[in-house]
């Protein structure tokens, strides 16, 4: 195997190579945007009532025990409510739920006008999503400009079999249509 200096790699791959600590933050953000993610809304019973946040930093960690994680930004005004919550719910959004996604972004309507429903842990939940994971806090760790929140899944609710996920990539929302092969 031939080792090439970093500057030579970009000519072979017809790409650019950069060090994320010296490049503009936008370059790293754009590179990360090449990885499509699902879109979720995480909810907690906050100190001022039901609180939700649109999140794409969500992933499975372990099946045994069932653990998942998500990462609220430390710069968010809602960070502390989420990072300290002892229970939370992750709602996976379907392709037709962009309006629900936008409700829980900065400046969105949040829970205003939605049905007031809570799970057994008292966490506000949103009906009609593709899937919901009701979690209890397992751990939280500092992770740069975010907090890594790990939850143990207590219950799972799954929507209809034809639900296709809402997807986020390259700074835009879209849908995923599975190949029937």
Label residue 123 exposed, middle or buried (CB < 10 Å: 0-12, 13-18, 19+).
buried
Q: What's the DSSP call for residue 6?
A: H
Q: What percent of the chain has a predicted confidence (pLDDT) above 70? A: 88
What pLDDT is attached to residue 6?
60
- Indicate if the pLDDT at residue 2 is higher than 70: no
Q: Is pLDDT above 60 for 9?
A: no
Q: How far apart are CA 55 and CA 39, in angstroms?
A: 6
Which residue segments constitute the domains of the chain, with CATH numbers given? Answer: 1-34 (no CATH), 36-169 (2.30.110.10)
Give the pLDDT of residue 122.
96
Residue 18: pLDDT over 80: no
**Which of 6-15, 121-130, 172-181 shows the highest mean pLDDT?**
121-130
Q: Which has the closest alpha carbon to 157: 136, 135, 134, 137?
A: 134
Q: Indicate if the pLDDT at residue 132 is higher than 80.
A: yes
Residue 32 structure tokens: 């990360």
Tokens 């995923």 belong to residue: 176
More confident residue, 144 or 161: 144
pTM of the model: 0.86
pLDDT of 94-130, one tens digit each? 999 999 999 999 889 999 999 999 999 999 999 999 9
Most confident of 14-18, 32-36, 40-44, 56-60: 40-44
Per-residue pLDDT of 149-172, as tens digits, reads 999 999 999 986 667 889 998 888
Of 51, 171, 34, 181, residue with least CA distance to 118: 51
């Amino acid at each position: 195997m031939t080792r090439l200096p970093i500057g030579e790699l970009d000519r072979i791959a017809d790409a650019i190579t950069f060090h994320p600590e010296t490049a503009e933050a936008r370059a790293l953000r754009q590179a990360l945007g090449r990885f499509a993610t699902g879109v979720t809304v995480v909810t907690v019973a906050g100190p001022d009532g039901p609180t939700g946040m649109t999140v794409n930093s969500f992933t499975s960690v372990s099946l045994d025990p069932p653990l998942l994680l998500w990462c609220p930004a430390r710069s968010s005004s809602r960070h502390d409510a989420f990072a300290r919550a002892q229970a939370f719910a992750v709602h996976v959004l379907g392709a037709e739920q962009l309006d629900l996604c936008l409700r829980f972004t900065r400046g969105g309507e949040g829970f205003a006008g939605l049905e007031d429903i809570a799970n057994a842990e008292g966490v506000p939940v949103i009906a009609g999503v593709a899937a919901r994971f009701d979690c209890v806090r397992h751990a939280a760790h500092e992770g740069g400009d975010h907090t890594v929140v790990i939850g143990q899944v207590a219950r799972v609710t799954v929507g209809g079999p034809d639900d296709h996920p809402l997807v986020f990539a390259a700074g835009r929302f879209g849908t995923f249509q599975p190949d029937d092969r």
